[in-house]
């Protein structure tokens, strides 16, 4: 692994902003898009359970309906690629088992050797379920992937805008997520800023580092 320099990292994160206006004429090249999909797939999650689905909305007729379901925001149609970050609703024991099967496959481990890890995960799953915070727990994982996707895009010089200003239930029915057991949390528009997007020039508003980072 070749590390990027601190300058490259901070420049990319300073350069990134929530893009309000995309250039509708520019498309992300295929190899870069493939890398961004991989960045989403590689996102970490609690236990590695990956309780998510990243829905790439490609069909023009479907995309055209999104601004009306996104508080009138038009990034979903003007951007190059639009992904809906959806959470697995009501994560089940079968989902945990599917993951255990995948570990066995990828790492060449026996199912028996993974039994301890499985029980450990099921303990957390049961507690979250009994306390009614299963979907909340899963949703937090999805936001990790969202952050990773934005940072990855910035490092490639690709703009993004996260959109939580959406109507999740309407997204779910439009994208057929409900029947698959998923629900939309946030959209993420990828592409290139329009030259006249004035937000690109606005200084970043962040609390001072000394206010946010505590040393103990």
Residues 6+ apart with CB under 8 A from 182: 53, 86, 87, 88, 89, 172
Query: Which single residue brings its beta carbon nearest to ligand FMN?
Result: 165
User: Which residue stretch of 50-58, 100-108, 126-134, 156-164 sits at the interface with ligand FMN (rule: CB under 6 A)?
Assistant: 156-164
H-run or E-run covering 88: strand 81-88
Q: How far apart are CA 134 and CA 141, in angstroms?
A: 11
Query: What is the smallest separation between the CB atom of 167 and ligand FMN, expressed in angstroms?
Result: 11
- Answer for which of 107, 204, 209, 215 binds ligand FMN (CB under 6 A) is 204
Nearest to 189 by CA among 42, 35, 25, 21: 21
Cβ nearer to ligand FMN, comparing 80 with 95? 80
Residues 6+ apart with CB under 8 A from 7: none
One character per residue 77-116, x = contact with ligand FMN (rule: CB under 6 A): ----------------------------------------
Cα Rg, the chain, nearest whole Å: 19
- Answer for which of 164, 167, 178, 180 binds ligand FMN (CB under 6 A) is 164
Site for ligand FMN in 52-81 (CB under 6 A): 73
User: Which residue stretch of 14-22, 87-95, 108-116, 129-137 sits at the interface with ligand FMN (rule: CB under 6 A)?
Assistant: 14-22
Q: How far apart are CA 194 and CA 73, in angstroms?
A: 15
Binding region for ligand FMN (CB under 6 A): 17-18, 20, 73, 161-165, 186, 204
């Amino acid at each position: 692994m070749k590390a990027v320099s601190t300058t490259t990292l901070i420049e990319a994160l300073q350069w990134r902003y929530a893009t309000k206006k995309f250039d509708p004429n520019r498309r992300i090249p295929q190899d870069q898009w493939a890398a961004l999909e991989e960045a989403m797939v590689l996102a970490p999650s609690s236990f590695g359970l990956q309780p998510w689905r990243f829905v790439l909305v490609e069909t023009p007729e479907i995309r055209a309906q999104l601004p009306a379901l996104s508080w009138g925001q038009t990034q979903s149609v003007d951007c190059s690629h639009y992904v809906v970050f959806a959470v697995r609703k009501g994560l089940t024991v079968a989902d945990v088992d599917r993951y255990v099967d995948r570990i066995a496959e990828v790492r060449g481990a026996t199912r028996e050797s993974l039994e301890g890890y499985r029980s450990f995960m099921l303990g957390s799953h049961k507690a979250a379920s009994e306390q009614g915070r299963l979907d909340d727990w899963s949703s937090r994982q999805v936001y990790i992937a969202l952050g990773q996707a934005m940072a990855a895009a910035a490092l490639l010089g690709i703009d993004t805008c996260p959109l939580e200003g959406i109507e999740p239930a309407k997204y779910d029915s439009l994208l057929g997520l409900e029947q698959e057991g998923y629900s939309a949390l946030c959209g993420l528009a990828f592409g290139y800023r329009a030259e006249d997007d004035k937000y690109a020039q606005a200084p970043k508003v962040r609390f001072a580092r000394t206010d946010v980072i505590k040393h103990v």
